[in-house]
Amino acid sequence: MNVTACKVCGNEYDKPITVKVDGESNVYDCFECAIHDLAPTCTHCRVKIVGHGVEADGEMFCGAHCAGQSGIETLRDRA
Ligand SMILES: [Zn+2]
Ligand SMILES: [Zn+2]
């Protein structure tokens, strides 16, 4: 059996989650580890963005509020 260690915590699990990013396979034992590694971080409040989030000037924010706090005022949350 091909057991692969989680990229984040090193746990070995026989049913890993594989996520391809830019053609490169990343292996995780659980979604929590995948989110930890792959989810972008809000530039303002450092929270992990697991929903839509907003992008402005190449920066990721968890919402328009944080973008506004960072001086970007043209964004609105998608209703
Ligand atoms: Zn893990
Ligand atoms: Zn934020």
In the reported structure, the alpha carbon of residue 73 is separated from the centroid of ligand 1 by a whole-number distance in angstroms of 37
Q: What are the tens digits of pLDDT across the range 5-62?
A: 999 999 999 999 999 989 999 999 999 999 999 999 999 999 999 988 999 888 999 9
In the reported structure, the alpha carbon of residue 29 is separated from the centroid of ligand 1 by a whole-number distance in angstroms of 5
Phi, psi dihedral angles at 37 (to 5 degrees): -85, -35
Strand partners, 54: 61
Give the rounded distance of the alpha carbon of 13 from its chain centre.
22
In the reported structure, the alpha carbon of residue 13 is separated from the centroid of ligand 2 by a whole-number distance in angstroms of 33
Burial 26-62, CB ≥16 within 10 A → b, else e? bbbbeeebbeeebeeebbbeeeebeeebbebeeebbb
